C-alpha cells in the first residue's frame, strides 16, 4: 500500500492506483468529465487537475499514479479558477439551440458548470457547427454541437460493447467523433446497445425515444425480463409511466452495460395492445366443439379459468395422441427455478422429452 495525503486526509491505496481513485477511497470528489471508472483513463478534459506539493504545474488526477508521501490538494483557489476556465473553454464549442434549458440539463457537464457557477449563455458557442440529429440510428440521437471530445463514446463502444464503432476524426478545433470511416452508425456495425449514450457526459449522444420526455419523478431499479442474464436497470418513471431505461452502475452482472432490448425495448409496457389478463377462445370456455371456420372470439377470463382450460386440453391431447404429441418450449425470461419446473412438467407430468428453450436460438 502507498501512503499519501489528500486535502490533509491520510489515504492508503494500492500501488498503481491513480490519485483520482485514491481520493474516492477517502470520500473526496474530484471533478471529472473524460474519466469513467469503467473505462481506460484518457486525461483529455483536464477538469480533474490537482496540485501536488513540490510540482511546478497541476496534474490530472485521473492519470497520475499515487506515490509514497505524496501531498495533494484538490480544491485550491488557483485550481478552482483553472477549472472555471476549462469549463468555459469546453462551453465555447458547445451549442444548444434551447439556450434557456441548456444550463438546466441533467448531464455531468452541466452539473459541474452549475457547481463552478459558469454563465452558460455567455460562455456557450454562438452558432451550431454540426447538424442536429446527424445519424439515422433509430435509438441514438447524435448532436455533436454538444460534444466536448472526451472520447468516452469511443472507449465505451470499444471496451464495453466491443464494436469499435466510434473513432475521432480531424484535429484541433475540428476534432469530433465519427462512426466507422465517416459512415453512419449502423453501417459501422453499431448494435444500438446505447452504451455510448450511457457514458456520454454531455447529451451529445442521447436516447432518441425519450429525447423530450424530461426528467423522471423517480427511478425504479429492477431486473430486465428479456433473457436469463438478469441485467439490472433503472426504469425512469414520470407520472406513472416509464419514459426511459437507464444503466444502473451498481448492476451486479452488467454494470452500466445493457443490450438494445433491455435499454430500448420498453415501449410494450404501456402499449394499448398489451395483454394484461388471460384470454381463452369462447368455444373452449363454453365447452363447445371448435367452430368449423376460424377459432372464434377471445374472451377475457381470470387465471384459474385459463389455467384449468389449458391443463384439461393438454391432458386430453396426451391421453388421446400420446405424450410425444406435446412439445414444451420454455423461455429465457423465466427464472432458473421456473425452467427446472418446466423440465419436470414435460418429462414427468406429460411424459415427453420434447422440451427446448429459446436461449438456444
Ligand atoms: S450504440 Fe453500442 S454498438 Fe452502437 S456505437 Fe454506441 S456503444 Fe457502439
Ligand atoms: S459524443 Fe459524448 S462521449 Fe463522445 S466524445 Fe462527445 S461528449 Fe464525449
Ligand atoms: S477527468 Fe481527468 S483529464 Fe478528464
pLDDT in tens, 17-34: 999 999 999 999 999 999
What's residue 230's pLDDT? 87
Cell numbers given for 110 = 452541466
What's residue 99's pLDDT? 79
**What topology does CATH give the domain 2-75?**
Ubiquitin-like (UB roll) (3.10.20)
Find the 222 Cα to ligand 2 centroid distance in Å.
Answer: 28
Burial of 175 (0-12, 13-18, 19+ CB in 10 A): middle
**What's the rounded Cα separation, in Å, for the pair 94 and 345?**
60
Give the three-class secondary structure for 202. Answer: coil
Half-sphere exposure of 144 (CA within 13 A, CB side): 18
pLDDT band at 332 (very low <50, low <70, confident <90, very high): confident
By most ligand atoms within 8 Å of CB, the mutation choice from 200, 207, 247 for ligand 2 is 200
Cell numbers given for 34 = 473524460
Find the 70 Cα to ligand 2 centroid distance in Å.
Answer: 33
Find the 17 Cα to ligand 3 centroid distance in Å.
Answer: 15
Give the three-class secondary structure for 300. Answer: strand
- Kindly report, as residue ranges, where domains of CATH 3.10.20.740 are found in the chain: 2-75
Mean pLDDT value across the chain: 95
Domain covering 128-212 assigned CATH 1.20.1560.10 in the classification: no
pLDDT band at 360 (very low <50, low <70, confident <90, very high): low
Q: What is the pTM of this model?
A: 0.89
Q: In the structure, how many helices (H) and strands (E) does the chain have? A: 11, 16
| CATH number, domain 218-264, options 3.40.718.10, 3.40.920.10, 1.20.1250.20, 2.20.25.90 | 2.20.25.90
Amino acid at each position: 500500500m502507498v501512503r499519501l495525503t489528500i486535502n490533509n486526509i491520510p489515504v492508503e491505496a494500492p500501488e498503481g492506483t491513480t490519485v483520482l481513485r485514491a481520493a474516492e477511497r477517502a470520500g473526496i470528489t474530484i471533478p471529472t468529465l473524460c474519466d469513467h471508472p469503467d473505462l481506460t483513463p484518457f486525461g483529455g478534459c483536464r477538469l480533474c487537475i490537482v496540485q501536488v506539493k513540490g510540482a511546478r504545474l497541476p496534474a490530472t488526477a485521473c492519470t497520475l499514479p499515487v506515490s509514497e508521501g505524496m501531498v495533494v490538494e484538490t480544491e485550491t483557489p488557483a485550481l478552482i479558477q483553472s477549472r472555471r476556465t476549462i469549463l468555459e473553454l469546453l462551453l465555447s464549442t458547445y451549442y444548444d439551440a434551447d439556450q434557456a434549458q441548456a444550463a438546466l440539463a441533467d448531464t455531468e457537464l452541466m452539473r459541474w458548470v452549475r457547481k463552478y457557477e459558469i454563465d452558460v449563455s455567455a460562455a456557450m458557442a454562438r452558432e451550431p457547427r454540426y447538424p442536429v440529429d446527424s445519424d439515422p440510428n433509430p435509438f441514438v440521437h447524435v448532436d455533436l454541437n454538444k460534444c466536448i471530445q472526451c472520447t468516452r463514446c469511443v472507449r465505451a463502444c470499444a471496451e464495453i460493447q466491443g464494436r469499435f464503432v466510434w473513432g475521432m476524426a480531424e484535429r484541433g478545433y475540428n476534432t469530433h467523433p465519427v462512426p466507422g470511416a465517416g459512415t453512419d452508425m449502423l453501417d459501422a456495425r453499431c448494435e444500438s446497445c446505447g452504451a455510448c449514450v450511457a457514458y456520454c457526459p454531455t447529451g451529445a449522444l442521447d436516447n432518441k425515444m425519450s429525447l423530450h420526455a424530461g426528467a423522471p419523478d423517480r427511478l425504479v431499479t429492477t431486473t430486465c425480463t428479456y433473457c436469463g442474464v438478469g441485467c439490472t436497470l433503472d426504469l425512469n418513471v414520470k407520472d406513472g409511466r416509464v419514459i426511459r431505461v437507464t444503466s444502473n452502475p451498481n448492476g451486479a452482472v452488467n454494470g452500466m452495460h445493457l443490450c438494445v432490448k433491455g435499454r430500448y425495448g420498453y415501449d410494450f409496457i404501456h402499449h394499448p395492445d398489451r395483454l394484461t389478463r388471460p384470454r381463452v377462445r369462447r368455444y373452449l370456455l363454453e365447452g363447445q366443439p371448435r367452430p368449423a371456420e376460424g377459432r372464434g372470439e377471445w374472451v377475457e377470463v381470470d387465471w384459474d379459468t385459463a389455467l384449468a382450460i389449458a391443463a384439461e386440453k393438454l391432458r386430453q391431447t396426451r391421453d388421446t395422441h400420446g405424450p410425444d404429441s406435446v412439445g414444451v418450449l420454455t423461455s429465457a425470461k423465466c427464472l432458473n427455478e421456473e425452467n427446472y419446473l418446466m423440465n419436470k412438467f414435460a418429462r414427468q407430468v406429460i411424459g415427453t422429452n420434447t422440451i427446448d428453450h429459446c436461449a438456444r436460438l
